[in-house]
C-alpha cells in the first residue's frame, strides 16, 4: 500500500533553468500524472506488485484523470477519496535540456488527507507486506500511519513501514524505532543528519547515522542520482554501493519514485538487498530516458532484459 499524494504535473520544457527573478521562454509544454505517492504506487504496480493507493483527489477535471491513470496500470484505488470543493494536487515542473528540474508542489486535495483516512485503510494495511509513505501529505497523517502500523505489528509483525521523507520536514518524522526501510536522496540525508552528502562514502556515513533510528533489522538507502545508490542494514552488514547505469537523461522527474517503487516491490517479493538495488537502479535508468513521471515508468518486462550488463551492488570501498 502507498499512502500519499496524487498530483497532475504541468511541465515546462526549457533550454536551461531560470535564475531567481528571471523570465524565460519555454520550448514545450506537457501534462502528466504525478504525485510522489501515486508515482510510487504506479511504479510498484508496473513491476508486478499488487499495489493499493490511499489518498485524495479533488472534484475538478484532474481528479478523474489521476484515478484513471493509476487504475490503468493496475493500482487498486478503492481507498482514494474525492474531496469536495477542492482542487487536485498540482506540481509545476521546469525541465532543462539535460533533464535537470525544479518542482513546486501545490497540495490541493492532498492537504485534506487526515487520520480518518488512515483508520479506514487500517484493515487493508493489515493484509499488506509493506506500507509506503512520503511527506507530500500532512504531518498528522504520517504520524497516524506510524502509530497504526505499530499497532498492527503486535499481531503478526506486518506490515513493513517504508518511508521516503520528501519533501523533508522534521515535524513529520515518525518516532524512532518505527520505520523499517528509509529511502532518502542526498539532500534529505543531509537534512536528517547534518552531514554533507556528495559522494558514495558520504552517503555511507549518513546511512550509519540514520540506521540506529530505524526498527531492528531496518534498511537505509541513500540515492545519489547519476552516481547511483548506497544501502546499509537488513542483509547488508556493510555498506553496499551500486553505480547508476549510464544513460542519456531526458527528464529526471519521477526517477526517485521509480527507484523506490521498484525497490520495495522486489524486497516484498523476497529479493535480497543486492538484487533489489540492481533491479531498481535499472528501472530508474530507463525512466530518465523518457519524459514525464508515471508516463516514463517501465514495465517489468522492460527492466528484466536491461539487467544484462547492468551494474551490480558490491561492498563500498571506503578510503581514509
For residue 319, what pLDDT is reported?
Answer: 66
Q: Annotated catalytic sites, by residue? A: 257
Grid cell locating 252? 529526471
Cell of 22: 528571471
Three cell numbers at 28? 514545450
* CA pair distance 148, 266, nearest whole angstrom: 24
pLDDT one-digit tens code per residue, 183-211:
999 999 999 999 999 999 999 999 999 99
Q: What is the predicted pLDDT for the residue at 117?
A: 96
Residues recorded for the chain: 320
Identify the structural domains of the chain with CATH numbers, from first to last: 2-19+28-315 (3.40.1190.20)
Dist CA 76 CA 135 (whole Å): 21
- The mean pLDDT of the chain is 93
49: nearest Cα among 283, 251, 309: 283
Average pLDDT of the residues in 243-264 = 88
Amino acid at each position: 500500500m502507498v499512502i500519499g499524494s496524487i498530483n497532475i504535473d504541468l511541465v515546462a520544457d526549457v533550454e536551461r533553468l531560470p535564475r531567481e527573478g528571471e523570465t524565460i521562454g519555454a520550448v514545450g509544454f506537457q501534462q502528466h500524472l504525478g504525485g510522489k505517492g501515486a508515482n510510487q504506487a504506479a511504479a510498484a504496480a508496473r513491476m508486478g506488485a499488487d499495489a493499493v493507493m490511499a489518498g485524495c483527489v479533488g472534484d475538478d477535471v484532474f481528479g478523474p484523470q489521476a484515478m484513471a491513470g493509476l487504475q490503468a496500470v493496475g493500482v487498486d484505488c478503492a481507498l482514494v477519496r474525492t474531496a469536495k470543493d477542492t482542487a487536485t494536487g498540482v506540481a509545476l515542473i521546469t525541465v532543462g535540456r539535460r533533464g535537470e528540474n525544479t518542482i513546486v508542489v501545490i497540495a490541493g486535495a492532498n492537504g485534506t488527507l487526515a487520520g480518518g483516512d488512515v483508520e479506514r485503510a487500517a484493515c487493508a494495511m493489515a493484509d499488506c507486506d509493506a506500507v509506503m509513505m512520503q511527506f507530500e501529505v500532512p504531518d498528522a497523517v504520517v504520524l497516524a500511519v506510524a502509530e497504526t502500523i505499530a499497532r498492527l505489528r503486535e499481531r503478526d509483525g506486518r506490515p513493513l513501514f517504508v518511508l521516503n521523507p520528501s519533501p523533508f520536514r522534521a515535524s513529520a518524522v515518525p518516532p524512532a524505532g518505527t520505520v523499517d526501510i528509509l529511502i532518502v536522496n542526498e539532500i534529505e540525508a543531509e537534512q536528517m543528519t547534518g552531514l554533507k552528502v556528495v559522494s558514495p562514502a558520504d552517503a555511507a556515513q549518513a546511512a550509519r547515522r540514520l540506521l540506529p533510528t530505524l526498527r531492528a533489522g531496518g534498511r537505509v538507502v541513500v540515492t545519489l542520482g547519476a552516481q547511483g545508490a548506497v544501502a546499509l542494514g537488513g542483509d547488508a552488514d556493510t555498506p553496499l554501493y551500486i553505480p547508476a547505469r549510464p544513460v542519456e537523461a531526458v527528464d529526471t522527474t519521477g526517477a526517485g519514485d521509480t527507484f523506490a517503487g521498484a525497490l520495495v516491490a522486489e524486497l516484498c517479493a523476497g529479493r535480497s538487498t543486492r538484487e533489489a538495488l540492481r533491479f531498481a537502479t535499472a528501472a530508474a535508468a530507463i525512466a530518465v530516458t523518457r519524459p514525464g513521471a508515471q508516463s516514463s515508468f517501465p514495465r517489468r518486462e522492460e527492466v528484466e532484459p536491461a539487467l544484462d550488463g547492468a551494474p551490480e551492488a558490491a561492498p563500498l570501498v571506503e578510503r581514509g
